Structure 1
Amino acid sequence: MKKNRTSDFFTIVSVFVFSICILIQAVIPSFAASSPATNEEIFLWPGVAPGSEGLNLSEIVKDESEDPKIQSRGITKIVKPSITVFMPEQKNGIAALVVPGGGYTQNVFDKEGTDIAKWLNNIGITAFVLKSRLPGEGHADAKHVPLQDSQRALRIIRSNAAQWGLNTQKVGVVGLSSGGHLASMLGTNYDKKVYVPVDPVDEESARPDFMVLAYPPVSTNARIPQNGPEKTPLSPIAKQELYDEYPTDLQITKDTPKTFIVTADDDPKVPSENAVRFYMGLKKVGIPAELHIFMNGGHGFAIRNAKGAVAAWPELCREWMIEIGLFK
């Protein structure tokens, strides 16, 4: 009888332990999953994002489009940053983190996010549109939260490369406007310790293998000597602190990725000198780069508002990708 009772005891314990394991797997997010579906939203952090503890925000999504067939969403009050997946019909193994602009006061999610992702899908690239936290919404270490989120996003993409059919050496970033600044932050500060690692995903490199920057304000908004006399700080102050911390054209190293840059000479918000300064910074350390400054285009042309000559930039970018060896 003793042996039978002992056997029953171990059976009960085994069932209990197995049940606990199943429960743990159910409540803890996994970032090593089967290939996600298009439009699936993947949250970046397994719990509260670093520095957002105790912050009570309710996400606000405003669609300013006058055409019901075309979305034009701006997203604010972001406390649960994420990436939204866009899978091409024919994958070529290349992946890109798409970083929308919005002046660090909102995420311009469609014009500079989903539109770009769909273009990338058309050329076989798997795209992940970033919804990152904004520096002026009460997060601790506010000037670092966009970089925290973009580093984490790239690490999630790379850590799931095998399951998602991606090449870990062909994971890039595409950023527009302030998203171009954030993309350049990732390209120049990918190894900066801006958060404490939370799980094995954070063992992955956050370095992009290539960068595409569209009308990026790399340092024009930073109050640094090269910009002349002291300027009135930007609002909110956390936004100014971010630009002061990351004048990215001054942070380029020999390990910064190959870069494609596009802008317009008549941009009224971000002077084209930003693109020139970043390009010259790359050339100074021998990083291959391509710069296109179109005479007309204004600010925020992206793809949907690109008219005339500037509308050629996506095809020029695709040809650049071929030249740097992304496509076979």
Structure 2
Amino acid sequence: MRSWRLALLFLASTGALAQDKVVTLWPDGAPDARPQPRPPAGPERLDGEQIRNVSQPTLTVYPASLDRAARTAVIICPGGGYEFLSFTREGHQYAQWLSSLGVTAFVLKYRLSGYGHPAPLQDVLRAIRLVRSQAAQYGVAPDRIGVMGSSAGGHLAASAATLFDQPAGRGGDALDAVSARPDFAMLMYPVITMEAPVAHLGSRNALLGAAPSAQLVQLMSVEQQVTARTPPTLLIHSQDDGLVPVENSIRYYQALTRAHVPAEMMLFEHGGHGMAMRAGQGTASNWPQRAEEWLRDRKLIP
């Protein structure tokens, strides 16, 4: 068994690296918050490991292991098709793994289909600005703040990596003066494009509505928004992903290459969609070890 799996089993059994605290992103109320979400979805609720109907965006903080602190932070965007958040498998478990590497992790609870664009973008950019503005408090370096996301959460992380200067992503207060550009990105089987036939239509409809304008579809097809300022990126996807086609990652990697952005892509034959940190997925189950090597090669962990 790989060492990272042993570490996770130990952490789960001892309760180590539990989250430190939950931080409210918008204590004075989120911008453009609708008193009646679209469509009415009811109160926020926890459904198994999934969170639905988010109305109060937060960051759950997982401090780095004290003996291996790397002064690196990662904001994690769980997936769920912009309809729910897979908070345990694509949030909590990633955060524990990163914390064991000496990284301070923050799991983002962001607004979903009840609000639509630009609410999720506002939430992730606010999270980056907040962590950067309080870097000293969290023991991280302001130039070592990355984003990580899975599936639709991968789309949100890639949106942060490409649309960090978008006016629609601002909060309308003094924190807007802080840069929202992430310093690196880790994208797990991400939704990237909003254009057919490669788009994941469920994510597109939840984020943009049933009949978005051509301009909005283009804007949120983030492979079209890559520039030389897009941060270094790691992409992980499987060939047999039957929900979010692997072409999403390939398109993004090609765009990064054209823009001369450092990028690495790991494509596996098996793994399907939503592999997260599950064992039994063939060589795809070893992605955490390879991602650790990528982080170390970029000098983001010791």
Whether TM exceeds 0.5 here: the answer is yes
- CA gap 1:275/1:60 in 2 versus in 1, 3 angstroms: same
Question: Is the Cα contact below 8 Å between 1:283 and 1:289 reproduced in 2?
Answer: yes
TM-score by length of 2: 0.84
In structure 2, what is the equivalent of residue 324 of structure 1?
298
Whole-angstrom distance in 1 between the partners of 2:217 and 2:110: 16
Q: Which moved more, 1:249-258 or 1:193-202?
A: 193-202
Partner of 2:288: 314
Output the CA distance in 2 between the equivalents of 1:250 and 1:306.
35
Query: Judging changes above 3 Å, is the alpha-carbon distance between structure 1 residues 53 and 274 closer, same or farther for their aligned structure 2 residues?
Result: closer
Unaligned 5+ segments in structure 2 are 1-17
Contact 1:89 1:124 in 2 (8 A): yes
Change (3 A) 1:309 1:106: same
Aligned to 1:42: 23
Identify the residue that residue 59 of structure 2 maps to in structure 1: 83
Contact 1:143-1:245 within 8 A present in 2 as well: no
Higher relative contact order (CA closer than 8 Å, sequence separation 6+) = 2
Give the Å deviation of 1:243: 5.4
For residue 275 of structure 2, what is the aligned residue in structure 1? 301
Q: Say what the alpha-carbon RMSD is for the aligned residues.
A: 2.2
State the partner residue of 1:113.
Answer: 91
Q: Which amino acid aligns with 1:86?
A: Y
Match of 1:189 among 157, 163, 167: 163
1:189–1:262 Cα change, 3 Å: same
Q: Do 1:87 and 1:127's aligned partners in 2 also have CA atoms closer than 8 Å?
A: yes
* Structure 1 residues 243 and 121: CA distance shift in structure 2, 3 A: farther
Give the drift of 1:118: 0.5
Identity score, percent: 36
Indicate conservation of the 8 Å contact 2:145/2:184, yes or no. yes
Contact residue 101 and residue 301 of structure 2 kept, 8 A: no
- What residue identity is the alignment partner of 1:150? V
Work out which of the residue numbers 43, 52, 58 in structure 1 matches 2:43.
58
2 CA distance for matches of 1:286 and 1:244? 21
Task: Give runs of aligned pairs for residues 169-180 of structure 1, distance below 5 A.
Answer: 169-180=143-154
Cα deviation, residue 48, structure 1: 1.6
Specify whether residues 215 and 74 from structure 1 end up closer, same or farther in structure 2 by C-alpha distance, changes over 3 A only: same
1:306 Cα deviation after fit: 5.7
Task: Kindly state the Cα deviation for residue 167 of structure 1 after the two structures are TM-superposed.
Answer: 0.4
Relative to structure 1, is the Cα distance of residues 233 and 293 closer, same or farther in structure 2, using a 3 angstrom cutoff? Answer: closer
What is the alpha-carbon distance in structure 1 between the residues aligned to residue 124 and residue 202 of structure 2?
28
State the 1:222 CA deviation.
2.8
* SS of match in other structure, 2:229: coil
Matched positions, count = 273
Measure the CA separation in 1 of the matches of 2:301 and 2:160.
23
Q: CA deviation at 1:127?
A: 0.3
Structure 2 CA distance for aligned equivalents of residues 320 and 93 of structure 1: 16
Structure 1 residues 305 and 246, CA gap change in structure 2 (3 angstroms) = farther
Alpha-carbon distance between aligned partners in 2 of 1:302 and 1:171, rounded to the nearest angstrom: 21
Rg larger for: 1
Inter-CA distance 249–195: structure 2 relative to 1 (3 Å threshold): closer
**Matched residues in 2 for 1:190 and 1:111: separation?**
26
The separation in 1 between residues aligned to 2:89 and 2:203, in whole angstroms, is: 28
Secondary structure, aligned partner of 2:96:
helix
Using the TM superposition, give the Cα deviation of residue 314 of structure 1 relative to its aligned residue in structure 2, in angstroms.
Answer: 1.0
**Matched position secondary structure for 2:148:** strand
Q: Deviation of residue 46 (structure 1)?
A: 2.2
Q: Give unmatched runs, 5+ long, in structure 1.
A: 1-36, 64-72
Distance 1:280 1:195 in 2: 25
Indicate the residue corresponding to 2:111 in structure 1.
133
